[in-house]
Amino acid sequence: MKESHLRLPAMTAVALLLFQTILPARLSWGQQQPSSSGQQNQTSPQNPPPQQQPDQTAPEAGGPGNDNGPIAIPKKAAPPPPPPPEPTVKNPPGLNNYSLRVDVPVVNVDVGVIAEKTHQFIPNLQQTNFRVFEDGAQQEIVSFRQVKAPITAVLLVEFAANSYSFIFDMWNAAFAFMQQLRPDDYIAVVTYDMHTTILTDFTQNKMMIQDAVRSLQMPTWHETNEFDAIYETLDRLSRIDGRKYVILISSGLDTFSKITLDKTLQKIKETPNVTIFSVATGGAGVMGGGGFASGRMNSITMLQAENELQTFARMTGGMYFAPRFDAEMPDIFTEINESIRNQYQITYKPSNAKMDGSYRHIRVELVDEEGHPLRMQDEKHKQLKYDIIARDGYKAKQQVE
């Protein structure tokens, strides 16, 4: 019994010694480390240490201690949770990103309305007087205006050693055309025989144009490759924006063109905003001969040439002229000048929005307020007949373009 009493105090002493050794070490991990200024946080009964929050978030903002101090700062609202990230879609290997563009096609139609007898432009028509049909279906006009602007034209002339009458008429026609030009017009001069030659590029310098025409003195080749010349000219004009014109002064003959007539007509259909005015040469030197030339040129050959020149003009909304006298040239180019500079410009959105590359036929009509064909009178109250000059169609875009 005595031995047990003596052993209990000894065990108690050992436990107390261990408690005094371990407790200071555990308390030292809970104390706050000194700040950069060397001061340690001290606790006191008046300023007890804040209790640690479970989520370790900062205390809400407020005034000094609360929201009722002299400088009260409203508490910050909890920020909304961030939106979920957008899902990313990866293209298959080898496939790059692409953009989709939707074209809303519009068609511009230049319409000339001229008196049948005097060939003068008829002004002051309104949008309600016009009806536009595409492949027989009436279209809704979205814009309409009468325009009178400078021109951009190519003077395309035949210069070959086939007949002096052709060259003589070409000179007269070219100089008559130059007399109608205005300072702000852009003109290029191109000739053709076996080859197509650009004498001068587009310029407003009228002296350069005159010098180019005067240089046509001694032709070299007898061949007249008209189809090649028209095709190459239209190909160059397709790279120029805006409305363009081709003044074709030619006999209409073609000898060794690499381009066929069918390909030439297809090129005309595919080239937008180009109007061809064709003037036949050779007619002034053959009065009563049954054709536009003599010698090896028979009437059947010249009739075919005439039909081709008419077709080029009709397809593009231009006009065809076959002068018989030299004195007709100034009047012809005055009429061409009036037709080019005075036009009605109509824009519509085709009801057929398919981009299939098909050729769409266009027809323009004039109507009165009741929808009947428009009737006009001259100053003497006589019925005035008129001609509507417009392109007969256009080629729609293809999906791959």
Residues 111-117 have a mean pLDDT of 86
Is the domain spanning 104-148+342-401 CATH 2.60.40? The answer is: yes
pLDDT score recorded for residue 168: 82
Q: Which helix (H) or strand (E) holds 139?
A: strand 137-139
> Which residue intervals of the chain bear CATH 2.60.40?
104-148+342-401
> Which residue intervals of the chain bear CATH 3.40.50.410?
150-341
Mean pLDDT of the chain: 78
* Helix, strand, coil percentages, rounded to 5, for the chain: 30, 25, 50
- How far apart CA 184 and CA 181 sit, in angstroms, is 8
Q: Which helix (H) or strand (E) holds 187?
A: strand 186-192
Cross-strand partners of 109: 346
pTM surpassing 0.75?
Answer: no
pLDDT score recorded for residue 166: 79
Confidence of residue 314 (pLDDT cuts 50, 70, 90): very high
Fold of 150-341: Rossmann fold (3.40.50)
CA distance to 36, 52, 53, 76, 138, per residue, from 58 (Å): 21, 10, 9, 11, 74
Q: Hey, which of 88-97, 101-110, 289-298 has the most confident mean pLDDT?
A: 101-110
Residues 150-177 have a mean pLDDT of 85
Name residue, tokens 């239209």. Answer: 234
3-state SS record for 222-281? CCCCHHHHHHHHHHHHCCCCCCEEEEEEECCCCCCCCCCHHHHHHHHHHCCCEEEEEEEC
- How far apart CA 159 and CA 278 sit, in angstroms, is 15
- How far apart CA 204 and CA 183 sit, in angstroms, is 6
Burial class (CB within 10 angstroms; exposed 0-12, middle 13-18, buried 19+) of 311:
middle
Determine which of 72-76, 159-163, 233-237 has the lowest per-residue pLDDT on average: 72-76
DSSP string, 311-350: HHHHHHT--EE--SSTTHHHHHHHHHHHHHHSEEEEEE--
| Tokens (6 digits) for 84 | 């979920």
Determine which of 46-60, 87-101, 243-257, 263-277 has the lowest per-residue pLDDT on average: 46-60
